[in-house]
Structures are given as C-alpha cells and as structure tokens.
Structure 1
Amino acid sequence: MLQRKIVLVVDQGTTGTRVALYDENGNPVPGGWAYREHTQIYPRPGWVEHNPLEIWEKVLVCMKEALDRSKVDPRDIAAIGVTNQRETIVVWDPRTGQPLYNAIVWQDRRTAPITDKLRENYFDVIYGKTGLVPDPYFSGSKIQWLLENVGTLRDKALKGEAVFGTIDSWIIWNLTKGSPNTLTPGRGGAHVTDYSNASRTMLFNIRRLEWDAELLELMGNIPEESLPLPRPSSEKEAYGYTGPELDGIFNGQKVPVTGDAGDQQAALFGQAGFEPGEVKCTYGTGNFILMNTGERVVKSENNLLSTVFYSLEQGRAVYALEGSVFITGAAIQWLRDGLKIIEVSPEVDPLAESADDTGGLYFVPAFTGLGAPYWDPYARGLIIGITRGTTRRHIARAVIESIAYLTRDVVEAMEKDTASRIRSLKADGGASRSDVLLQFQADILGVDVIRPLVRETTSLGAAFLAGLAVGVWGSLEEIRKTWKAERVFKPAMDPEKRERLYRGWKAAVARALNWAREVPWAYGYGT
C-alpha cells in the first residue's frame, strides 16, 4: 500500500501555537490540527515577553493531539515545516536547553533608546544592507539589550554557553535536540534559521545572505558564533531530524525538519504568490501586505520595507516589499469591547451591509499611530463626518471600509516603488471571511480580490516549503496547481466614485496625523 505523504507544520504565533497536517494535495487532513495559547508576560510598561519553555511545551502537546485526532500513522509524516512570529528573540544554553531569559517579543519597546541612536547615526547603513529601518520591532537591538543587561551573558556567548535565535530557531533546535544528524553538530540540536527570518533581525545582509560584521559591531559587538546558521527556507539536506524527546510522538520515527519561513512570507508562499508582482494581504489584528519582487531587492522610496520572501537554494533568494498596518481587525474588536455596538465580531458584517454607504463618515483606526506608508507614531484615531443622521450602522461600515483604505495606501506605495500596477490581491487571515470587506476592497482598489479555499495560508506555506525539500511536491508549478480559489470579488464601483471616496479618506488621515504632538498632555507626552 502506498504511504500517504503528510507534512506536519508547527505554526508558532504571538498568542499561541497551532500544529496542522497537510496531505499531498495541499488539503488539511481531517482532524489534523491543534491549538494552544501561551502566557503573555508584561514585566513593565512597553515590555512584552514569552516563556520559551511554555511555548515548547505547547508545541509538544499540539503535535501529539493533531496526530491522535487525525489517526495519521507517524510513518506517513514525510517532513516537518516551521513558521513563526518573526522578530521575537530567545537566548538559551545549548548544553542544557534552558532559556537564559524570557523571549523578548516583537511588540516589546524597551530597546527604543538603542534604535533611536541607530536611526540618528546609521540609518543609511542599516537600511541599505537590511531593507529595514532601525526600530525596536526588529531582533538585533533585543540581542544587544540582553548582552548588556543580563549578568554574564556576553561571556557565556563567547564561550559557546549561550546562543540566540528567533522563535523558529528555538523550535527547530528543540525538535532536533539530541539528534546526531544536524547541520550544526555540537550545538545540541540544529541551530539554524532561514533567510526570511534572518532578514527580520536587522543584522543580516539581504543581498549577500549572511550575517553582516559591521551590523553586528554597531549593535553592541554581537558574537556571530552565537547566532544560528542561515539556510534556505526549503532545505533538501534537512536542518536536522527529530531527536529522542519526540520518539514517543512519532513512534521512534526520525522525521526530517526541512521547511522554515517567517509567518508573513509563509502566507504569501501558501497563496502560491510565486510570480513577481503578486500580492497578498493577511487581514488579522493588523494587515500585512507583501509583494513578490523576484530576485531584485527594491529600495522603497515610499516608506515600505524590503525583505527576503523565500529561498530554495543556498546563496539565492526571492525578495518582497512589505507594508504593515497596525490596527485593522483590532478596530472591529473595539466596536465590540469598547463601543459595545456589537456583541460578537461577526455581527459587524450584517450591520455594515445594512447601510448603503457611510453617509460621509470616515474612521481612521490610528489607536497606536499609523504604520506603512505613514509611519506616524503621533497619529491618533478619528471619526469625522458625523451628522445627526449618523447611526451605528454607518460607524460599522466606516470601520470595515477603513481596513480596505489602509490596504490601498500600502498597495499604492508598492505600485510606485515598482512602477507597475497590481493585477489582483490575494486575501487571507481571519477578517478575510468578511464578504462586505473583500467586496469593498475590490471596489476601492479596482482589481480582483481572491479568497483561497484554504485560509490558513501561513501553515500551508510552511507545508509547501517542507514538502518541496522531500518530494511531496516536485516544483512550484505543481504547488500552484494545488492552490484553489474559494471566491473572487470583482470591482463593481464606478471609477469616479472610487477616487472621490479615496480622496475623502486621504483628507481624514491628514486630520489624524500628528495629533498627539498637538495635544501631548492628553497622551502623557508632556504639558
């Protein structure tokens, strides 16, 4: 009997861990998933941490539960793929596997003084080599902070008693711990990362695809030997094989770990966005929009980031432009929890659809400032255009429309940077379930918006990368054939109306920008 070719994916996110199983047709295996949340730790205002051991424990629980529920024979698991919250950093002892500090999460702002100096003195150097702007969001300044603030950590790192890695590195190291067959013998497990995750550290030269000595020096002389080995996102040699701790889950099978990518890059891969110019938007708490730019690093003139999309071959990569919008789906939660005009989030759709339009109302969800392409931390949320006829229906519709407007802002920046017009937008993430949102998105962009049949595109992308390495799929073209659209939303709005509405949006944003500087006393910035 022919063995099934199943790929297991660990999708480790900011709030929880999901394990999912996919078959050779790119379909989720029935029952083959599990999810567990982990604790959010807030030691001080602006600090956000996770317990790395708790995350690993959740990975183990989810793997066992997914296999048990699906009744999949561990002998049918062809490979393991990993995808992850990208910029969160872990430090651990490779001899014992014990973390030496909590994971510092991408949301953490403690390193703002470090990145302020980097931005002031070395902006061009960092942006030119990494495609990133100096910001606490990225991993390099977190490592610098750890080296400068945690006991004898620097001495340990120099002696090989402390190693650093983003969450993918931590998970892969634990998956392969104790295995003799890894790409990094002597490290206890495979101490690796892929180019896409490395490109989010602010330490990685995205053109040369290696750690950059000058950047390591700028960020407090980080020892290169303490960092993971950068590798392609799909590794035919395997990063390593499952170690003894996993024998009970896989019945003694040694499963190769062969795929790794940051969550947003994995989502574009899961959307089969393999051609330059293809764009996806993940609609979540915020929106992440990525455009494939091929083997060309596009230097953005419109406040976007350049990043590695994926790599199938050592020393080569495909790149992307990325724009991050901070608050989108979170605004729907605010309607529920703050204004209480809906009881559960799905109620926003019928409420918004019950209004033909917003009645001239605009909502700018700048609760924590505005991200790409504005990058204004002093912007604040705004509702403008209220009249005596404004109702909660209009507010709900304005919130839905704001998500689409913010996405257009980023897409327009991408089009300017690449001097090209996008052909369509692929949508995924929780809010992509909303028909009213995706229809308005198609209307305000003037292009088709495509929702896939499998909406968990992040874990699917990691499955594709892992499966490519071991022959579950033979090529990108074969993967493309497995991808299926569930629905295509076509623009139906008159172009003149489209542009009139968008001009109104830009006018509303202009009034939200810089607000906290105008009234700093209201936000704790001074008197």
Structure 2
Amino acid sequence: MTGPVLAVDQGTSGTKALVICPERGVIGSASAPVRPRYGPGGLVEADPAELIGSVLDAGRQAVADAGEPVSAVGLANQGETVLAWDPSTGRPLTDALVWQDRRAERLCAGLEPHGDELKRLTGLPVDPYFAAPKMAWIRRELTREGVVTTSDSWLIHQLTGAFVTDAATAGRTQLLGLHDVEWSAAALDIFGLSDERLPAVVDCAGPVGTTTAFGGEIPLTGLIVDQQAALLAQNALEPGQAKCTYGTGAFLLAQTGGRPATGVGGLVSCVAWRLGGRTDYCLDGQVYTAASAVRWLTDLGVIAGAQDLDPVGASVPDTGGVTFVPALAGLAAPWWRSDLRGSVTGLGLGTTAGHLVRALCEGIAAQVVSLADAVARDLGAPLTSLRVDGGLTRSSLLMQTQADLLQRPVEVSALPDATALGAGVTARLGLEPGLSPDRVTPERRPSAVYEPMIGPAEAAERLATFRTAVDHLLERA
C-alpha cells in the first residue's frame, strides 16, 4: 500500500486540501479563500493568481498539517469556469469567468437554432452556465490570443506543464461528444471555436505529470470536476444512486451507468467519470444560487452569515406567507431560463428576518425537489433517499425543509469535504490502477438522517405555492 495522497478541491469561494491516508483517513487539512468579483451585466470573475495561489497555499498547509510527504496529488475543479492564457508562458490573458457569469446570454440566444443539435451532440442545453459560451464570448469580446480553456487546464499547466483536461470536466464544456467522449468538430464549429488548440482529454485517474509545488517530485494522478467528485465520494457507483451538494449552488447528480440517459425532464446527461477507459454517465441538475443566496441575505444585513439560518429561522414557525424564488443568477434545470431573476412575494408589515430565512430555505429545497422529480421521470423510479453534502448541510432548518418537501429521507454525509475526498479517490486510483473504485471510496455513513415531519398533502401545497411563483416569473419574462 502506498502512502498518503494530497486531494485539492479548487472551488468557487475557496480551495480545500486534504491529506488522505489509506489506513488512517484524513491526516491533514487546510483551506484558502477565493473572492469572486460580481459586477453589472452578470459579471462574475476571479483573479487567476488567486486561484493558483489558493491551491498552493491550501495544499502546502495540508501537507504541513499531516507532517509527512504525499505520494500523489488529485485535483478537483469548478468545471465551467474559463480563462484565456498563453500556453508558452502560462501567463493569464484574461480574468477567469466563473461558472455563474452570465455575460454570454446574448451569444446563447443567437445559438438557439442549434439547441437541439448541441443537446444531441453533447447532452447539454444552450446556456451561459456551460464553458463553451464563455469561451466563445472571450474570443469575441476580450482576446484572440493564446488558448481558452476551463480553469483546470491552466491549473494543471501551472503545476506540471501538461496541457490536458479530464473527461468529466471536458463534458461540462458543451464541446465534448457525449457518446465518443472526444472533442466534437460539429460543436466547435457551432461556437466558432474550430481553430482552437484544445487540451488532450484524459481519464480521471492516471499520471499526467509531476509537480514540485508540494515538496519533492510528486505525480499528479487524479483529475475530476467538482460535482462528479462528490458523487464518487458519496459512493454512488450504481445506476439510480444520487447525491446533492449544497455549496455556492446546489447540484443534484444521479448515476446512470455506462450509457447516457436521455434527459426528458430538463436535466442534462453528461460524463460522470472515465476510469480505465470506461465511461460512466450521470444525470445532472443545478440550482444556481444556494450559499450565494445566503451570502446575498448576509450582505443586505438580514443575517450575519450561514450560521444564523437556524437560530433566526427558529424565531418563527413558518414563512408567514412569504415566497422566495432565489433565482438570483437565473433558473437552471429543469427550466433553463438564465434571463430570469429572483422574486420575494407575500411581504407584509409583520414580515421578519425569520420569515425571509425560512422562505429562502424553502425556495432552495423546492428547486431541489424539482430536480429529484426530473430524475425520477428519467429513470422511471423515484429516489428512495437523497445523500447530501456541502457546507449548507450544517443547517438543520434547510435539511429538515428538504426532507419535508421531498417526502424522502435526507442523509447528511458524515464525511466533510466530499469533493476533495472524490479528488483523493481519483488520485489513489491513478497511483494504484489495480484498485477498483468501491475499494477506495470512503465508507458511507450519514451523520444525520432527516425524515419528513409533514404529510404529503402539506408538502404538495407548499410546493404548489413555490411553483406558482416560478410560473409568474416565467409569464412576465
């Protein structure tokens, strides 16, 4: 058995690093912040220097915390975040357009006639959320120089000099063929990116180069996109198993096995991971604003932070008639309306911070129910339970609301930092290719299980109220 691996999760608001020993579990950890910038016109950007700096800081601190060297490195990334950079020097040519950036909306509107073809080719609908529209926007509006890629390719190049991306991350671009898992010439042509130099698409596990960033010459053996990393860490290895991660957004993924499912309920079908040349697929649904909506309430002074959700929400018994559709960056699956913005209705002189908090939790949970319902339609059977992870799972109010509206148990992972753990799984598999994923994924044990505390009729009534509010937004758009 080889030694510990360093698992790094480069996320939207920070980077988390874990040193994971196969016998002793997590023996070192650290984090470093990232501060995205928000601006007019849907601008959400990050400084590339801050991205790589957070990777180096968190990784080095985790290794120091462990007090022993690591045998390999695994890297998880944000997925749809992109930038242009000089491949000869590694110098960034633009800031990183974060996955929430909406400036490619007009470009996407012009591509609507190609929507069905792109969905058939790549599994993904036309939406600014994905990487290709942002890449095309950079080429039209910012620079024609260098290469334009997802952020993982730049980070990998900074660490090792290699020019690669993994199959799961490539699947988030809308440029990867869903069935052959190769760059699609037809999709590239639609986006006007046919002349681009693109990174090689590699398996999620396997050596791609070495780095001296974390002490000695260490191989980089694991690469995976963030939500698929969490799916792997949640041990969702069989078709029908699903997880939801509550972070900056909320992301529900359901395994579909070795064949992509045809999403008819508004979800997208994409690569879960490619290991040993075998591709597994998943259905994927998104809520664009979860923790970012909590941060919005915080910035307004309604609460002091996410830690206030439970005490402030407990100050009232219900939402007081307030309905909050937290579409602060548009509505994702199953609606795919990036042009919509959120709404808060039912306000009165008696509305308090507690009512707003409860309405926000209900709005997030109701959107996740819509995703779970879409999974059930696509797979032909409802989810028996929902495995959840991410920072907002610390809120008992949100998790209980989720169980109530879903009418299914919600199992909160006892393992924090599921995305980083998934990166550690790929690093271990790349270091020891004879292992199978089920031997490397952490033992799944929930820290808490939330059972529904209301009946189906009340759940249906509350969901209907939320969906009526969404319908009103759709009608006015």
By the TM > 0.5 criterion, same fold? yes
Question: Which residue matches 1:137?
Answer: 129
Equivalent position to 1:300, from 263, 276, 284: 263
Q: Which amino acid aligns with 2:314?
A: E
Q: Which amino acid aligns with 1:212?
A: S
Question: Which residue matches 1:240?
Answer: 209
Question: Which residue matches 1:173?
Answer: 157
For residues 112-133 of structure 1, give each alpha carbon's deviation from its aligned partner in whole angstroms, at most 9, with x where no partner exists: 333222222x112111011111
C-alpha contact (below 8 Å) 2:411/2:446 kept by paired residues:
yes
TM-score (norm 2): 0.91
Aligned with 2:94: secondary structure?
coil
- Which structure 1 residue ranges, 5 or more long, are not aligned? 154-161, 177-188, 518-527
Q: Shift of the alpha carbon at 1:425?
A: 0.6
C-alpha contact (below 8 Å) 2:294/2:305 kept by paired residues:
no
Question: Which residue matches 1:335?
Answer: 297
C-alpha contact (below 8 Å) 1:203/1:211 kept by paired residues:
yes
CA distance in 2, matches of 1:106, 1:286: 10
What aligned pairs does 1:6-155 form with structure 2 within 5 A after superposition? 6-25=4-23, 27-30=25-28, 32-37=29-34, 40=37, 45-72=41-68, 74=69, 77-120=70-113, 122-148=114-140, 153=145
Q: Shift of the alpha carbon at 1:26?
A: 7.6
CA distance in 2, matches of 1:341, 1:135: 31
Q: Shift of the alpha carbon at 1:221?
A: 4.2
Q: Which amino acid aligns with 1:333?
A: R
Equivalent position to 1:193, from 165, 185, 190: 165
- Which structure 2 residue ranges, 5 or more long, are not aligned? none
Change (3 A) 1:128 1:355: same
* Percentage identity across paired residues of the two chains: 36
Q: Shift of the alpha carbon at 1:167?
A: 1.5
Q: Shift of the alpha carbon at 1:259?
A: 0.9
Alignment pair present for 1:511 and 2:472: yes
Q: Shift of the alpha carbon at 1:209?
A: 0.6
CA distance in 2, matches of 1:472, 1:273: 20
Question: Which residue matches 1:156?
Answer: none
CA distance in 2, matches of 1:148, 1:114: 10
C-alpha contact (below 8 Å) 1:473/1:479 kept by paired residues:
no
Change (3 A) 1:128 1:351: same
Change (3 A) 1:151 1:501: closer
CA distance in 2, matches of 1:481, 1:343: 34
Q: Which amino acid aligns with 1:130?
A: T
CA distance in 1, matches of 2:246, 2:434: 28
Alignment pair present for 1:325 and 2:294: no
Question: Which residue matches 1:275?
Answer: 238
Question: Which residue matches 2:190?
Answer: 218
Q: Shift of the alpha carbon at 1:370?
A: 2.3
TM-score (norm 1): 0.83
Question: Which residue matches 1:483?
Answer: 444
Question: Which residue matches 2:373?
Answer: 412
CA distance in 2, matches of 1:300, 1:231: 25
Larger Rg: 1
C-alpha contact (below 8 Å) 1:25/1:482 kept by paired residues:
no
C-alpha contact (below 8 Å) 1:144/1:222 kept by paired residues:
no
Question: Which residue matches 1:522?
Answer: none
C-alpha contact (below 8 Å) 2:30/2:62 kept by paired residues:
yes
Supply the RMSD in Å over aligned alpha carbons. Answer: 2.6
Q: Which amino acid aligns with 2:387?
A: K
Aligned with 2:403: secondary structure?
helix
Question: Which residue matches 1:501?
Answer: 462
Q: Shift of the alpha carbon at 1:349?
A: 0.6
